[in-house]
Amino acid sequence: MPASHPVAPRGVRRRALLGAGAGAVAGAGVGVAVPAVAPAGLGLAARAEAAAAVDTLVVLSLRGGADGLSMIPPIADDAYARARPTLAVPASAAHRLDDTFGLHPALAPLVPLWEAGRLAAVHAVGQPTPTRSHLDAVTAQESAAPSSTAGTATGWVDRLVGVVADASPTTATQVGDPLLPASMAGPHDNLAMRGLDAMSIAVSETIVPVRGWQEAVDLLDAGRTDDPLIPTLEVAARLGALPPVTSAAEAGYPATALGTALHDVARLVRAGVGVRVATVEDAGWDLHAGVGDPRSGPLSSKLDLLARALVAFSKDLGPELDRVVLVTLTEFGRRVAENGSGGLDHGLGSAMLVLGGHVVGGKVHGTWPGLDDGDLVDGALAATTDYRSVLAEILTRRCGVTATGTVFPGFTPAALGLVQAR
Amino acid sequence: MARSRRPARGNGNRRGQSPAPPAAPPSPYGVPDDVQGLPAHREPGPGPGPGREPPGRRRRAGRARLTPRQVVAGSLLAGGSLAGAGYLSARDGGRTELDPGLSGGRTASTGQPLEGLRPDGAAAWAPSAAALRVPGDLQVEHLLNRITYGPTDELRAEVRRTGAAAWLAGQFAPGRLADPGGDAVGALFPHLGLTTADARRAVPDGTALQRELAAAHLGRAVWSNRQLLEVMVDLWSNHFTIACPSTKAAHTRHRFDADVIRPGALGSFEAMLQAAAVHPAMLAHFDADTSSADHPNENYARELLEAHTVGTAAGFTEQDVRQTALLFTGFQARDGVSWYVPGRHHVGRIQVLGFTHPNDSASGGRTAVREFLSYLARHRATADALARKLAVRFVSDSPPDALVQRLAQTYLRNATAIAPVLSALFTSAEFAGSAGAKQRRPMERLAAVARTLGLAPGHDQRGLLDLAAMLDAAGHAPLGSPLTGGYPDVASAWRSPAVALAGFNSTAQLVHGWWPRTLVNPGPAKLLRTQPGTRAAAVEAVAYRVLGRPPTASERAAAEKLLADTLLPSRLTRGSWEQRETIGLISTLLLCSPTAVSR
């Protein structure tokens, strides 16, 4: 796979494709059920093989700043309980993971995956340039490039699409939020949708074929437009034609936006429509107040819903879990000490969960910096593992990316031993 | 001391003027004993309100006749929420008379005096038509595209009749504009005029109540005559964003809209900031209502610095955030009332950016907060951030720096008053020269389509709730942004495949009248005044109707291409399904054209 892929201006690419008459905008994979979109020179069998060869990376962003010290509490560290007189997860309630760490009781549904070696954690993960502003932290994390400035920045997922040889509009797909994340900002046609159900076209194709709309919209401004509607109509038509599946509830997902989104991600993975990176966002982790009791409070509820969604996702995928690596990511962790609202203000280091068929599971990876006063950075857990190292290792070992210099410019990833090489 | 500052209901929000602090607020909810005698924010109880007092009785010299709804909004402002006025009066030792030479002392939004929202008497004014030096080459279509949620044939005719300057001047004094469209929307959503306590009884589900607010917000954008006000309400709702629905502000979010945003939208920024900072919705949403000296909560502090005022460009540090959080300790809020508890306030010197305050007594904490907010409102970085925000909204996604600088100076020269900045903006060469440079955000696009098609709100909430829900597929529910600073106003932030698809789908549905079913929608059969007998005639007529001009050659070609791919005939029988569908498809297509989706 080439390390970089020349990118034509959007309009040129799109019009060339339109002109080719093959309707190939959906590119590799999307058209499995519709032969007309098969790109020249790459047959169905070859594409199926290519698809089987690499894993799909699922990035689940816990937005607002998830508290790694609750997810994977350092139950053996005395400083933990001292800093959180009401919010610390007691050692007696946690599921013991090793000599240092436990698992939050609400994450207990994940224990079978942990013990089966399908689930791992990485602790004290963070960003190289710490900021405690949500907006800045999310932007920095998703651009994952130094000195990017607003308006010109590209995101790491978009750069990844640039190094994927057979990229299509579904190579990078966000499910749940129709607005493209900052990680997908850039020159490529990336997809963001509220859900597969929303990918439909209001005007029946029996009245106007998709191609009719595409060509008419293209003509509207004498072909000068680069209207994302043009490729999207085709993607919508094809995704709308995916075979029906059982509902998210029937598949065992909790009735949350996260459950619905992961259900759609599993459907996309199984359909083999060429999704290489799927992103999902889960809001509501910014618990400045009312974190609540570790056994029954609001954070406990969030973790319970997260755990049940992940369990359902792995069951839903079945053997296909071998072709998936899911990571949880968050813009920053929470402060070590609790505040006066029974909550936790913005911190730095947090923990990631890593789920997949080829994860070196049952283990807390990373380097524990400690929680004593001298260990903290402005009252927060120090970050000893750069989140880009986690992503880079998965991309190179599991997702068929040979080098991550373009995806994470100026960054040399550390080897973590988190996933098995293909 | 000129005129009595007595608000519609005296609830004692006048520290420094009353020798003895008024009694603490009624405490049926277990308000702590050490509450300082001044509520930071208080809703009106059984005072003047809808149906309780004839509007006319509230008239004083120079005041316009008010609708009951306006009385509610105005009384809230002049009453409890305007902590800013109390502070400034205390500092200045007296009130400054309103300048009768300007707008007659009415708020832009309600016709009520801006007592609270006018810290120095110069804050709120509406320019006269003569004072608005609208450039001669300013196109009416451009003006309407920018100042409103989309031109309509009626509006075009009105501006041609009155002239651009007169129409624009009228928009600066929305309280004087008759507003049957906005009133019709308001009548569908009576819960939004209720106090927090009454609203909780009427609509126990706070999420449902906030959906009503979002739907009414969209409805006013579509049908209100006070279009500039509605555009600014949307802008400030994003600026002071409290995501709607908010769990923590479940039954106060609608009050924030009524108490702070609507009355303040064309007034003084400082007054709006002061009112916003202590509103129960803001305190609860950002956890400032539980922040104490022992355990300060930084959530609101960071939002205040980053989103509401100076912005990250000011280079504030984590230490500044912590200091701000310490200063903001001591507020509490419950059931639509907020107050200040000295015993919970951090005492000790505060330094944030260039602001220092001894903050040496618990009882003085409230005053220190007011002074800090005043400092922030008048900070150069705040001026720059607000000037840029307004220029981005009304000129382009990357406005010229020179324009931003001029606007920032106007803002500071006018003591943070918003209207003079807008006035300078709308009469600038940069504004006149930027036609079509902005993309309509999803809600703006939906509102423009609804306005163009001549829809009406229907007889219950359902249609508007469904219309608002159409924006979910675009990730742009009205008032719904969870992001710091609200929905970004630059196209690169929201342009996406799903947004494009959602825009197309909702346009097709509204054009055909498929959805929402309970909106009054004439449908494609009644869209045109004529009955085109051919495909080509239909293209001409639809372009006039939905774009306000003849079709371009490209648009003709596009429509021909679209219809050529269908089974529809090129000769159309009057009143036929084929004629209706032809009109519907052409309308859908042209409402997706660059002209229609930009402004």
- CB neighbours (10 Å) of residue A254? 19
Burial class (CB in 10 A: 0-12, 13-18, 19+), A116: exposed
Closest residue by Cα to residue B492 from A70, A181, A2: A181
- Specify the pLDDT at position B42: 64
Distance from CA of B583 to the nearest CA of A (A): 13
Model confidence at A70, pLDDT cuts 50, 70, 90, reads very high
B469 touches chain A (CB under 8 A): no
Mean pLDDT of B36-42: 56
B257 touches chain A (CB under 8 A): no
How far is it, in rounded angstroms, from Cα B348 to Cα B362?
A: 9
Question: Within B427-566, where are the H helices?
Answer: 429-432, 442-453, 462-469, 491-494, 497-512, 535-547, 553-564
B298 touches chain A (CB under 8 A): yes
Pick from B398, B473, B503: CB nearest A194 = B473
- Specify the pLDDT at position A22: 35
Model confidence at B128, pLDDT cuts 50, 70, 90, reads confident
What pTM was estimated for this model as a whole?
Answer: 0.81
Mean pLDDT of A150-177: 88
Q: A interface mutation test: which of B507, B562, B577 has the most A CBs within 10 A?
A: B562
Distance from CA of B568 to the nearest CA of A (A): 9
| Mean pLDDT of chain A, nearest integer | 86
Interface of A with B in 232-291 (CB under 8 A): 232-233, 235-236, 283, 286, 288-289
Q: What is the CA radius of gyration of chain B?
A: 25
Residue A173 has φ and ψ, to the nearest 5°, of -135, 125
pLDDT tens digits, one per residue of B332-382 = 999 899 999 999 999 999 999 999 999 999 999 999 999 999 999 999 999
Distance from CA of A343 to the nearest CA of B (A): 8
Chain B residue numbers with beta carbons less than 8 Å from the beta carbon of A286 are: 299
Mean pLDDT of B496-520: 95
Distance from CA of B570 to the nearest CA of A (A): 15
Model confidence at B31, pLDDT cuts 50, 70, 90, reads very low
pLDDT tens digits, one per residue of B520-556 = 999 999 999 999 999 999 999 999 999 999 999 999 9
ipTM associated with this complex: 0.80
Mean pLDDT of B280-305: 92
Specify whether the CB–CB gap between B450 and B222 falls below 8 A: yes
- State yes or no: pLDDT of B135 exceeds 60: yes
Interface of B with A in 529-588 (CB under 8 A): 553-555, 557-559, 561-562, 564-566, 581, 585, 588
Ranges A240-249, B166-175, B213-222, B311-320: which has the least confidence: A240-249
Positive or negative torsion for Cα B538, B543, B549, B550 = negative
Mean pLDDT of B214-229: 98
Residue holding tokens 């810290």? Answer: B119
Distance from CA of B300 to the nearest CA of A (A): 10
How far is it, in rounded angstroms, from Cα A175 to Cα A239?
A: 13
Please give the order of strands across the beta sheet that includes B331-334. B39-41, B337-340, B331-334
Chain A residue numbers with beta carbons less than 8 Å from the beta carbon of B506 are: 202
Chain A residue numbers with beta carbons less than 8 Å from the beta carbon of B312 are: 133, 136
| B503/A191 Cβ within 8 A | no
In sequence order, the β-bridge partners of residue B598 are B439
Distance from CA of A332 to the nearest CA of B (A): 14
Contacts of A20 (CB under 8 A, 6+ apart): none
How far is it, in rounded angstroms, from Cα A19 to Cα B509?
A: 29
Ranges B79-88, B160-169, B228-237: which has the least confidence: B79-88
Query: Helix, strand, or coil here: A198?
Result: helix
| A345/B298 Cβ within 8 A | yes
Model confidence at B103, pLDDT cuts 50, 70, 90, reads very low
A319 touches chain B (CB under 8 A): no
How far apart are the two ends of chain B, measured CA to CA in Å? 48
- State yes or no: pLDDT of B441 exceeds 70: yes
| B474/A178 Cβ within 8 A | yes
Chain B residue numbers with beta carbons less than 8 Å from the beta carbon of A343 are: 287, 290, 297
B317 touches chain A (CB under 8 A): no
B295 touches chain A (CB under 8 A): yes
- State yes or no: pLDDT of A173 exceeds 70: yes
- State yes or no: pLDDT of A24 exceeds 90: no
| A212/B318 Cβ within 8 A | no
Burial class (CB in 10 A: 0-12, 13-18, 19+), B402: exposed
Q: What is the dihedral of CA B578, B583, B588, B589, to 10 degrees?
A: 100
- Specify the pLDDT at position B379: 98
- State yes or no: pLDDT of B388 exceeds 80: yes
Ranges A7-21, B127-141, B205-219, B430-444: which has the least confidence: A7-21
Q: Which of A136-140, A163-167, A403-407 has the highest mean pLDDT?
A: A403-407
Distance from CA of B177 to the nearest CA of A (A): 37
How far is it, in rounded angstroms, from Cα A47 to Cα A39?
A: 10
Residue A354 parent element (H or E): strand A350-356
Interface of A with B in 330-359 (CB under 8 A): 338-343, 345-346
How far is it, in rounded angstroms, from Cα A191 to Cα A180?
A: 7
Question: Each residue of B256-268: b (16+ CB within 10 Å) or e?
Answer: bbbbbbbbbbbbb
Mean pLDDT of A362-372: 97
